[in-house]
A and B are shown apart, each in its own frame.
Chain A
Amino acid sequence: MADFDTPELKDFLETPALCPGSMEHSKPFVAAPVHQEALGFPGELVENWQEKAIDRMGELLDTNRALRVYLDSCVKCGACTDKCHYFLGTGDPKNMPVARQDLFRKVYRRNFTTAGKYVPWLVGAEDLTEETLDDWYSYFHQCSQCRRCSVYCPYGIDTAEISMAARDIMDHIGIGQKYSNEIIGKLHKIGNNLGLPEPALANTLEGLEEDIEDETGIDVKLPLDVQGAEILLVTPSADFFAEPHVDGLIGYAKVFHAAGASWTISSYASEAANFAMFIGSQEQMREVAQRIWQAARDLGVKRIILGECGHAWRVAYSFWDTLVGPFDFLDPAYPMPMHICEYTDDLINQEKLRLNKAANDEMTLTFHDSCNVARATSMGGRPGGQFEIPRAVIKAVCNNFHDMADDTIHEATFCCGGGGGLLTDDLTELRVKGAKPRMQALNAVVEDHGVTHMAAICAICKSQFSKVMPYYGLEMDAIVSVHQLVSNAIVLEGSIQEEELDGTGEDDETGESLAAEDDVAAIEG
């Protein structure tokens, strides 16, 4: 079906030769008027779009220090040129972070700097022409806002900020991206990205309860809209039925059950994802986040916990307080918000969970650091906690774990290729090619260390990998949720799993089960 070639994985990741224009054709579908207008943007390209675009650029420059400083500071040193996964996967020079920024910077210079006004040819300043706008639409939708370039820039210039600004300007002149804007509209209307109404959600959760009961023999609840619950769980709506996301949700439910926690999901705010970040609209981002603030207050919860979602964790951790805070009605004894991995890790450290690592023995795991978690947040109240805590959880529930190469994990992690509002079928070629650096690193540990599965804590990463892995000859279910692993290993009191484990003392037939018992003992201390 693909009318493009999947990049070939080699022994090492090579920097491609420049192929100018090779991804010029890659453009997501343009938002229909109805999707634009639902967010208060003009339905189609406005008449005086050049003027409007420059006006909007001026407003952003006056209200966003990062944008202004980043546009002025680049010296074109080239440090970022080989850092973007989309460049590494496509060789299109406009996918080099600095070249992508320059599509914006040249217009900035022409309209807002002395040098650009008087000697444009000298400093690469240009007017916003139709051709440039075309480039903007194409290449600012080939940036997943993963911030890898920002780590390596000597001034910390973050292309994500510039691509957000460019998308915001395009929205303001009437050419938004269908995928993101349609989804944001659904969220405003129904409360989640999938457009899943309350009855369907209730039904789904009940179904999951039945699945868990079949598996464990235990009545584990997935409560919905429980007034006065202590914890509000906000999780990406993909967790409600996409694979492997849903196995993660089952994992959270089992952890809450094991901890005896009082928790609930909200049907009003049944979405952790906040796609408004992708389109760079603070107003939209605030409106989306406001639902969660409202739900938390209305339900009277004491704390909010976020499920496995990368950019949602960024928005929640870094932006919520600014956008919709203060959350002064929550219990200040808990961090606001808390990540589900922090919650589970705490319970593991307090030895409150019984875990049978052997349950995951058929897998050898590696962990994909999701970009927004890795480069824009932390966990556990310490720098680097965002790397340690998910790994600590995995290692507590699995015997076999092997990290990918150092220059592809932690803050150097490669984006899955589908972040930043690009997880849409109209961008399949880009997504497949952009996944190349991650696939390369994964393939290396598959071959050298027998890794069979990669775990992640981001709904977008999970969906993206299950789609693109087959292109690279990997099974689509080789991507798993971290809490899916927890779910496999957790031994609930009174469950079938507990019976099986504790019964082995009598049968006592293999060394394997003894080893498994040792693991349980180790965790139980």
Chain B
Amino acid sequence: MPTVTVIYALLFYVATAVLIVGLGFKIRQYWRTPQPLKIPTTPAPMTGSGVVMRMMREVVIFESLFKSNKWIWIFGWVFHAAMAVALLRHFRYFTEPVWGWVVLVQPFGVYAGFAMMLGLAGLLVRRIVVARVRYITSPSDILFLLLLLAIGATGLSMKFVSPTDIIGLKAFMLGLMYLDWQPLPEDANLLIHLGLVISLMIFFPFSKLLHAPGLFFSPSRNQPDDVRMKRHPGAFEAENQARGT
């Protein structure tokens, strides 16, 4: 087996493990840390189903961000939505036969690639041009945008500039999944693309990308305003019960 294939195969296993274990650790940590008090932020729904709806609006249309700032919203939403479509399109490299809905997404994937680049570019420009945002920017904030831009650029260039050996890539990916390693096509664009994706997977659990699981654990968003209907016993409950009546 070529050395490059071995290196990438091992890196993919490591990256997948880091992503799953790292995220699993953070999610477990969030899950286990008690939330001492009820702190939903208005407009807070009063029921569990209301919370599900609120959360869905936050995840799907970025409701709060929309209320906040239309520029960040349009760039941020376009980037995330396009990335989701582009990601779904990539399922064809992991499935044989390719799932029906992945085939349906296929034609949109390419447009999504460009939209994602546009969104990211907008966010990057804002980060540099708007003084307030520049003030709060760390090197890592810029690097993540550049990383995603580079992933998008190398991906698109494989579609439009120098097509890579897709059949060989798919064989490599399926081989990884079924532990039957196949050689990875040694095309510079592809190797860079995959290398950047691997680093993104590894960075995920150690970075601000934790906003993805974080949103679901955010008490100001995931708590219903139901204090009048339900008790919310906290750290002092045992002591309080022992006060006697």
Contact = CB atoms under 8 A, between A and B. Distances in A.
Interface in B81-131: 126-127, 130-131
Contacts of B231: 321-322, 325-326
Contacts of B30: 65, 68-69
A82 B30 CA distance: 29
Interface string A148-180: 001111111110010000000000000000000
Interface stretch (A240-248, A349-357, A370-378, A421-429): A370-378
A315 B62 CA distance: 30
B42 A76 contact: no
Contacts of B215: 73, 154-156
B3 interface: no
Contacts of A336: 228
A329 interface: yes
Contact of B240 (A70, A152, A324, A410): A324
Chain B: interface size category: 35 or more
A322 B233 contact: yes
B217 interface: yes
A113 interface: yes
B41 A158 contact: yes
A151 B135 contact: no
Given A93-B135, A383-B44, A156 B220 contact: yes
B65 A154 contact: yes
Contact of B72 (A70, A79, A99): A79
Nearest to A323: B236
B170 interface: no
A333 interface: no
A329 B207 CA distance: 49
A522 interface: no
Interface in A70-94: 70, 72-83, 93
B220 A66 contact: yes
A383 B43 contact: yes
A63 B227 CA distance: 21
A82 B132 contact: yes
Nearest to B46: A383
Contacts of A375: 41-42
B72 A78 contact: yes
Given A122-B138, A317-B227, A318-B227, A83 B68 contact: yes
Contact of B39 (A66, A93, A335): A66
A286 interface: yes
Contacts of B210: 72-73
Interface in B133-159: 133, 135-141, 143
Contacts, number: 216
A154 B214 contact: no
Given A18-B131, A69-B218, A383-B46, A75 B208 contact: yes
Contact of B126 (A78, A282, A286): A78
A209 interface: no
Range class of the A interface residue count: 35 or more
A324 B236 contact: yes
A70 B30 CA distance: 11
Contact of A321 (B43, B138, B232): B232
A98 B130 CA distance: 15
A343 interface: no
B37 A319 contact: yes
A290 to B, nearest CB: 9
A81 B67 contact: no
B39 A155 contact: no
B39 A161 contact: yes
A271 interface: no
A10 interface: no
B193 interface: no
A321 B211 contact: no
Given A63-B34, A78-B127, A282-B236, 19 more contacts: A65-B33, A66-B218, A66-B219, A68-B30, A72-B210, A73-B210, A73-B218, A78-B130, A115-B207, A147-B41, A147-B220, A152-B65, A154-B65, A154-B215, A158-B220, A317-B227, A323-B37, A383-B45, A411-B43
13 contacts: A15-B132, A69-B214, A69-B218, A72-B214, A99-B135, A123-B138, A155-B215, A155-B221, A321-B232, A322-B36, A325-B231, A336-B228, A381-B46
Interface of A: 15, 17-18, 61-66, 68-70, 72-83, 93, 96, 98-99, 102, 113-115, 121-124, 147, 150-158, 161, 282, 286, 317-319, 321-326, 328-329, 335-336, 374-378, 381-384, 386, 410-411
